[in-house]
Amino acid sequence: MANFPEIITLIGVNHKTASLELRERLACNAGYDEPLAALSKLTSLREYYLLSTCNRVEIAFVSTEPERARADILEALFAPAVTAEELEPHIYHYGQSAAVEHLFRVAASLDSMVVGEAQILGQLKEAYRVAAKAGGTRLILNKLLHKSFSVAKRVRTETRIGASAVSISYAAVELGRKIFGDLTNKHALLIGAGEMAELAAEHLLGNGIASIVVANRTLARAVNLARRFNGKAVALAELQEQLQHADVIISSTGAAELILRKEDVRRVMRSRRNRPLFFIDIAVPRDLDPAINELDNVYLYDIDDLQGVVELNRADRDREAIKAGRIIAEEVLKFEYWLENMASTPTIIQLRTMIEDIVLTEVEKSAGRIGAVSDAQLQALEKMALAITSRMLYHPLKYLKEEHHCLTLEERISMVRSIFELDDASRPAPTGDTLHA
Amino acid sequence: MSFLLFQASFTLYFLAAAAYLVFFFSEKAAIRKNARLLFIVAFICHSITITARYFEAGYTPIATHHETVSFFAWGLGCGYLSFCWRYEVKNLGAFISLLVLALMTVAAFASRDLVSLPPLLQSAWLPLHASLSLLAYGFFAMAGVGGLMYLLQERTIKRKRFGLFYSRLPSLETLDKLNHHCLSVGFPLLTLGMITGSLWAKQALGTYWHWDPMETWTLVTWLLYAGLIHQRFTVGWRGRQAAWLSIFALVVALFTYWGVSVFFAGYHGKFS
């Protein structure tokens, strides 16, 4: 086990490398439980976590044999639906600090389709919660993910990347303005009551939309959401009738098949007297028939299309992205430092140095208080103090150096480090000289 | 005098169109303000030109080709100012000012001689009939230009390729409103133009309707616009269909205006 170094690896596909269609097939629609159970059976993985959103599917893992682990994962998660050969050209693969950096970028929403949108952090936290519960994450990934949350928070507070509210909903509002001119007398219909729909609704309301209706399979959730927006809740079965009144429709259900087809919308357009309809499909897999866009006065955008809209005012955000990139680079360095210290030798050195420092300082102080002390006496005092130190450190060091029957090396290191507070940043890192001390 | 004034208006329209074009590409708000100011000054100068010509010629200057085209351009300017007074239509000015400039160029190349009106045209009906009809054409031309803009913008949004036009053209709703506005002003004007023409014909020639080619084609134009308006109000025709039909109707209207006098003989053709 200890022969090979453990490596953090992150593999996945996102909106830049894979088409919506491929992402639809990879997405874990039934929740994380099943894929996580599949991952837990892989012996090549020491730690793992899985994130699946409509824009990305990513697996971060710790393993001593990353190549074998990667093949195992692709086989275990996607094998029947998507073969490894098919997937290969779309996958990105990051190791060690590149993986850390990527995860930080994802958490800080720099890698999002809509840079700066806040949904991703919530999705990441949820993915982590489930993975931790399933026992997938341990020392390294726990630290890495917790760190990524704080990095995201730092980026959010120190840059304006989130403040410009660039998100799917922003893109939707922009387009809505180009179609309707003015949103104040328009009505929105949300199909599905997910988090994304909620954010979009908030944004639309902020831009003056007249009313919001929520249609959901489970009416209770629709009622809850509708209450928040002073809106109305309806059942999914009333969808056709609701289309008469709505102008902007945002669909984000978890349904596996299409919920609206071209014919359904064509029928509605006649009774709407051709007033325009603007559909936004943010569900993966898609809720709305792509052919709907072919109808006159009907505009359908899915999440990939919305990217084009957002790209328009990208220049403004580039500056902030550079600032955010610097924060991330800084945090990656800090994490690397932590990771290096996780090996046993630096911990032993650091522990020794720290204790010896304390002891010698105390000896000096006492010597000052005693008054006239000869050099020989001082040396004797120091010798005694160091002997006590060695005796006292004997067991903690042995604990670090020797195999333990039920705790892994990382867990032992982590325990010692936290007992002695060795990760306190105010203390200097051990340097090469101290090795011989 | 009116000759010089015409040159001045032409130059001002040229400057306005140039300014609008610069605004179109640069999207700087300050330029837009100046462009609009230039256009208004040009329009006022043009109005003075027409008034001056009225006093020089001794008749309402809507008889010769130069005069009608110039008046058509003036009518278009009227329509544009009347609309942008009430609504904001981004970059409509660029399109309209170019069209006005094109019309003014046509007018500049036509003979500018003053003519003595034949007895048939020496009537109080002339200014009424001709100005109403030409004003109607001005509004229809604007509907056509709006239709073109609509089609460009609609194509961008449908195909999801955001190029030159997306940010520069107004919203679809605004353009559709423009279409509605132009039709609901232009159509009554055309109807009035036809009624006054018919009354004039009764007075001068004895019958209301002669099936003169111009009359026939005007009727075709009128029916097209009537159909479009009818569809708008009953079935809710709008957007792309309305835009296409506005453009088609404008082509027919322009044919009525220029083509008929070239291809057919009739008492309208003698002067225009």
How much is the pLDDT for A310? Answer: 62
Average pLDDT over chain A, rounded to an integer: 81
In-domain check, residue B52: yes
Best residue of A244, A269, A271, A274 to probe chain B, by most B CBs closer than 10 Å: A274
- Cβ contact B170–A181 (<8 Å): yes
How much is the pLDDT for A429? Answer: 47
Residue-wise pLDDT for A9-38, tens only, equals 999 888 888 877 788 778 777 778 888 888
- Catalytic-residue membership of A406: no
Kindly tell me if the per-residue pLDDT of A430 is higher than 60: no
Highest mean pLDDT: which range of A95-109, A210-224, B6-20, B250-264: B6-20
Question: 3-class DSSP state for residue A272?
Answer: coil
More confident residue, A345 or A353: A353
Q: Are A127 and A51 in contact (CB under 8 A)?
A: yes
Q: How confident is the model at residue A431 (pLDDT cuts 50, 70, 90)?
A: very low
Q: What does R_g of chain B's alpha carbons equal in angstroms?
A: 19
Of A301, A311, A312, the CB nearest to B167: A312
How much is the pLDDT for B267? Answer: 64
Query: Which domains does chain A carry?
Result: 7-164 (3.30.460.30), 168-311 (3.40.50.720), 340-436 (no CATH)
Best residue of A178, A179, A305, A316 to probe chain B, by most B CBs closer than 10 Å: A178
Active-site annotation holder among A18, A54, A113, A124? A54
More confident residue, A249 or A109: A249
Question: How far away is chain A from the Cα of B161, in angstroms, using its nearest Cα?
Answer: 7
Question: How far away is chain B from the Cα of A248, in angstroms, using its nearest Cα?
Answer: 14
More confident residue, A30 or A419: A419
Q: What is the mean pLDDT of residues B139-150?
A: 92
Nearest residue in A to B163, CA atom: A312
Q: What is the mean pLDDT of residues A219-232?
A: 83
How much is the pLDDT for A390? Answer: 84
**Rounded CA separation B33/B28 (Å):** 9
Residue-wise pLDDT for A271-300, tens only, equals 888 889 999 888 767 889 999 999 989 999
As a whole-number percent, the residues of chain A with pLDDT over 90 amount to: 10
Interchain CB contact of B112 with A (< 8 Å):
no
Interchain CB contact of B151 with A (< 8 Å):
no
Full domain range(s) for residue B61 = 2-263
The secondary structure of chain B as a DSSP string is -HHHHHHHHHHHHHHHHHHHHHHHHH--HHHHHHHHHHHHHHHHHHHHHHHHHHHHHSS-S-SSHHHHHHHHHHHHHHHHHHHHHHS--TTHHHHHHHHHHHHHHHHHHS-----PPPGGG-STHHHHHHHHHHHHHHHHHHHHHHHHHHHHHHHHHHHT---TTTTTS--HHHHHHHHHHHHHHHHHHHHHHHHHHHHHHHHHHSSS----HHHHHHHHHHHHHHHHHHHHHHT---HHHHHHHHHHHHHHHHIIIIIHHHHS--TTTTT-
More confident residue, B179 or A339: B179
How many domains, in total, are found in chain B? 1
More confident residue, B269 or B68: B68
Kindly tell me if the per-residue pLDDT of A93 is higher than 60: yes
Q: Are A103 and A131 in contact (CB under 8 A)?
A: no
Question: 3-class DSSP state for residue A201?
Answer: helix
How much is the pLDDT for A3? Answer: 45
Interchain CB contact of B25 with A (< 8 Å):
no
Of A177, A272, A299, the CB nearest to B158: A299
In-domain check, residue B126: yes
DSSP secondary-structure letter at A434?
Answer: G
How much is the pLDDT for A22? Answer: 80
Q: What is the mean pLDDT of residues A187-201?
A: 79
Of B153, B177, B240, the CB nearest to A296: B240
CA dihedral A303, A308, A313, A314 (to 10 degrees): 80
Best residue of B160, B228, B244, B245 to probe chain A, by most A CBs closer than 10 Å: B160
Residue-wise pLDDT for B77-116, tens only, equals 998 998 887 778 888 999 999 999 999 999 998 888 777 7
- CA B134 vs CA A64, B52, B68, B71, B73: distances in Å: 84, 19, 8, 7, 9
Q: How confident is the model at residue A75 (pLDDT cuts 50, 70, 90)?
A: confident
How much is the pLDDT for A281? Answer: 87
Write the ipTM. 0.84
In-domain check, residue B269: no
Q: Identify which of A239, A249, A188 has the alpha carbon closest to the alpha carbon of residue A213.
A: A188
How much is the pLDDT for B186? Answer: 93
- Backbone φ and ψ of B180, nearest 5°: -60, -45
Nearest residue in A to B238, CA atom: A274
In-domain check, residue B268: no
**Rounded CA separation B267/B214 (Å):** 9
Residue-wise pLDDT for B231-256, tens only, equals 888 888 888 888 999 999 989 888 88
- Cβ contact B162–A275 (<8 Å): no
- Token pair 């004034």 is found at B5
How much is the pLDDT for B98? Answer: 93
**Rounded CA separation A302/A284 (Å):** 9
In-domain check, residue B88: yes
Q: Identify which of A174, A341, A192 has the alpha carbon closest to the alpha carbon of residue A255.
A: A192
Of B161, B173, B237, the CB nearest to A181: B173
- Cβ contact B238–A312 (<8 Å): no
In-domain check, residue B271: no
Question: How far away is chain A from the Cα of B170, in angstroms, using its nearest Cα?
Answer: 7
In-domain check, residue B65: yes
Residue-wise pLDDT for B185-200, tens only, equals 999 999 999 999 899 8
Q: Identify which of A189, A191, A296 has the alpha carbon closest to the alpha carbon of residue A244.
A: A189
Show residues of chain A in contact with B160, CB under 8 Å: 301, 305, 308
Quote the distance between the C-alpha of residue A284 and its chain's center: 18
What are the beta bridge partners of residue A250?
A190, A280
Q: What does R_g of chain A's alpha carbons equal in angstroms?
A: 28
Q: Are A154 and A56 in contact (CB under 8 A)?
A: no
Nearest residue in A to B172, CA atom: A179
Residue-wise pLDDT for A303-319, tens only, equals 777 766 666 555 666 77
In-domain check, residue B272: no
How much is the pLDDT for B152? Answer: 92
Interchain CB contact of B158 with A (< 8 Å):
yes
